[in-house]
Structure 1
């Protein structure tokens, strides 16, 4: 993405946008729906910090803790009684230590290092448009291959995992929904509108779900990350633009990005997992890490509380039947190493470099128990140069794009092509793009095996993946002559690819 901090660890490149015109045989560009309004931060909250307070789940304890919160000058914003998480605002600098000493409180901490700000929007940068002639060239190449979608010739990623062939057998069931927990989704996009589920969509910014019409949409066209992810999962095969991995399933949007700084704060993500679970979502895609810490260390009370709160929410979703899929990250870190230098945290104020132990400090939500952790590959099938990895940390891999790995496609672009707001299309690369490929394959598996539990789906994902051995030569992802990473493990399971690269065609045949 153009900004999305570090960003979003997730999508690394500035997207290239295709504006499709009627003269090329595409649907005319529709008027873009009004962007979602930014949530309002109450004046009384300005200058406060946001907290998560995690308690025992019995009603008596929760009510007692609420009274203690008020005495400590805190204001309850939301209560998730089923998981024992309370979202609080407080300007009291001693609120954290005071509330942690309260009976029944199991952990509590600030979810950011700077005070809450008045709501506003932020410009994350402009996209780079392609000409109509360039779009026509791709459409012409697609027609020669009898692809059903005008831009499919540039979707090397679909062919890499057999998704183009899988769609002819089983495109996925309308009874399966993948929720995109992200920056919002433009559901007016003609490639997304046929498969969009408004009833399973919301804006969770602030920790409270807003289900009003369009609240789930991006704040501005520059908040395109979630729309790109949604298209990778379920862009319809309707003769317009591109196709998703599972073009027959439903996709919904749960927006969690802050309008002021674009960050994904813990209370927003807690809300998202609970909302998804309570609204019958089968799979969530999580192409982000929870801000403001790239890694949350359990020896820090604030960071421990963040891990606790988000884990309670995602475990609740699992218990309700939701499989959570997440991107591994774009830092090229080895999650099984002895130490990692984290230079980006906290990202809401001034980062302070620190060395962390990845076995004691965790990237949330991707390293939480039961979450499917996804690394990225390029068109050559090797690890993308940016992709985080680690034996025992990566579950499966999928195409995420790599600008150093060039495909034989009309645009010769090694990134991933998908939908963007305002009836446009563009390329991004990152583990953000790999995760939705896995979410799409999981949706195909869920369509074929509707009674499979999240744990069973994860086992199926690993079993159907194409095993990929570690490279035989030293890994130099960007070709500069320097070894960038070391792959450990065997052919069946290793640190670069986990159990292998997902296979959509095999998923629909099983």
Structure 2
């Protein structure tokens, strides 16, 4: 691919959303997710749902999960089959709100190389990588190999990006079904090999893991596989659950989930009507993560970008009540964040260039496991948008990564923090021979892969702030 110019865009990544969308009235068809009581009766259960006029729309047989379309009569007729049932929940597509771009000629690119000629052209713009790799020293010790794979559950990847193409392994999969979200995306063919990124978010995440060209990721020689779960719209939670299962079956070592949502453990009401919510999607997440852990995969998730103490349920509930009120809903119960708050997940908060918790990052004691650089907005708040843009201050606090059509962009969000942890775990697994030993690799990360000079703060960064050089030295 020609390298006569590079386009750099800046964006704020917002991947967290609100679920339990408008549920239909009694006799109106809607989508349901169920977990079967007895997985051995899988075929029988499918037949019974179909016989009662339910349309099977998605399945994850490994954990006994079925999504079907039908009215409440279908759900009630087959209730004896189900361990849990709820209206299917959706995750909105990750936001890539681009604002400004420019092209940089080759002469200028060449002038900003780092002191080490082996470092890439745009290295001096990568404050985050310089910090956690000790200005590239970690690459001289361990840069990864194709023996270890990070699975990226996201919106796909730019399959031709020059910084990523050599790391992309065969076996990536598209989990978006034909017709996309509830049949509203006719451009979605359901082709399992269709992994190209039309959103951009997955390509951003991939760059932080394994970019190896004009920029570098944490593990530039590590293999990556992509599990596409977002098209142009929201994703059904069941697709993400399926992707976790599939990645584990494909022998992926680390599964990166730069996504998440808030759920209610309780009852949700609209116009005085109880909306059935018995936790099936969250149970699906739990079962999928447990399945992945048992097969030897580490699961890593981003913490979210709402500046909330997720462990403070009073604060979280107040936040969610305001959001539900906008939809004319109320609830009785407790809010949680999934998958980040579930067992078996390494949950990552974000820090900025000052090594403070990013202003946007969620946090919470016993919620956050580790922190990594994901950008910040302190300079934006201090100086205002005009000075932030025109003075180039965004380059000082957002992180540079890969983007669609061979481009690069500045971005911020916990979505940019999580993949750095995933990539570091891949390095640890490769170097320490921890294949299929997720607990060992996680314990090693928490003990060795953190900064030694940072004041402890369990709520902000759990076991510490990521240090890739310390992890591999």
Q: Which category describes the TM-score, using the shorter chain as reference length?
A: 0.7 to 0.9
Deviation at 1:174, TM superposition (A): 0.8
Give the strand-richer structure, 1 or 2.
2
Q: Are 1:249 and 2:225 an aligned pair?
A: no
| CA–CA separation in structure 2 for the residues paired with 1:84 and 1:209 | 25
Deviation at 1:268, TM superposition (A): 0.9
Over 6 Å off, 4+ runs: 1-4, 121-124, 406-411
List aligned pairs for 1:111-510, cutoff 5 A: 111-112=88-89, 128-133=100-105, 137=108, 139-144=110-115, 146=117, 148-162=119-133, 164-205=136-177, 212-213=192-193, 215-219=194-198, 223-236=199-212, 240-259=213-232, 261=233, 263-290=234-261, 294-299=262-267, 301-302=276-277, 304-339=279-314, 340=316, 341-342=319-320, 351-352=327-328, 360-404=334-378, 412-452=395-435, 453-466=437-450, 491-492=455-456, 494-509=458-473
**Could you say which residue in structure 2 is the equivalent of 1:34?**
none
Contact 2:94 2:201 in 1 (8 A): no
Match of 2:87 among 89, 94, 110: 110
Gaps spanning 5+ residues in structure 1: where? 11-46, 115-120, 471-490
Deviation at 1:297, TM superposition (A): 2.0
Match of 1:50 among 16, 26, 31: 31
Deviation at 1:251, TM superposition (A): 1.1
Deviation at 1:54, TM superposition (A): 0.2
Deviation at 1:428, TM superposition (A): 0.7
- TM-score, normalising length from structure 2? 0.81
Contact 2:11 2:412 in 1 (8 A): no
Q: 1:457 to 1:493 in 2, by over 3 A?
A: farther
**Could you say which residue in structure 2 is the equivalent of 1:25?**
none
Gaps spanning 5+ residues in structure 2: where? 1-8, 18-27, 182-187, 269-275, 381-387
Deviation at 1:365, TM superposition (A): 1.1
Name the SS of the counterpart of 1:149 in structure 2: coil
Paired residue total: 425
Q: 1:73 to 1:256 in 2, by over 3 A?
A: same
| CA–CA separation in structure 1 for the residues paired with 2:312 and 2:415 | 22
Q: 1:174 to 1:231 in 2, by over 3 A?
A: same
| CA–CA separation in structure 1 for the residues paired with 2:394 and 2:113 | 12
Over residues 279-325 of structure 1, what are the superposed CA-to-partner deviations in whole Å (9 max), with x where a residue is unaligned? 111111111115xxx22425565361110112212221111111110
Q: 1:391 to 1:75 in 2, by over 3 A?
A: same
Q: 1:209 to 1:171 in 2, by over 3 A?
A: farther
Deviation at 1:183, TM superposition (A): 1.2
Contact 1:344 1:353 in 2 (8 A): no
Deviation at 1:493, TM superposition (A): 5.1
**Could you say which residue in structure 1 is the equivalent of 2:69?**
89
| CA–CA separation in structure 1 for the residues paired with 2:452 and 2:115 | 32
- TM-score, normalising length from structure 1? 0.75
Deviation at 1:130, TM superposition (A): 1.5
Deviation at 1:401, TM superposition (A): 0.3
Contact 2:10 2:409 in 1 (8 A): no
Q: Are 1:68 and 2:52 an aligned pair?
A: no
Q: 1:7 to 1:52 in 2, by over 3 A?
A: same
Deviation at 1:342, TM superposition (A): 1.4
| CA–CA separation in structure 2 for the residues paired with 1:156 and 1:501 | 15
Give the helix-richer structure, 1 or 2.
2
Deviation at 1:235, TM superposition (A): 0.7
Name the SS of the counterpart of 1:435 in structure 2: helix
| CA–CA separation in structure 2 for the residues paired with 1:419 and 1:284 | 19
Q: 1:139 to 1:429 in 2, by over 3 A?
A: farther
| CA–CA separation in structure 1 for the residues paired with 2:65 and 2:378 | 44
Q: 1:391 to 1:270 in 2, by over 3 A?
A: same
Contact 1:153 1:410 in 2 (8 A): no
Q: 1:445 to 1:353 in 2, by over 3 A?
A: farther
Name the SS of the counterpart of 2:239 in structure 1: helix
Deviation at 1:460, TM superposition (A): 1.7
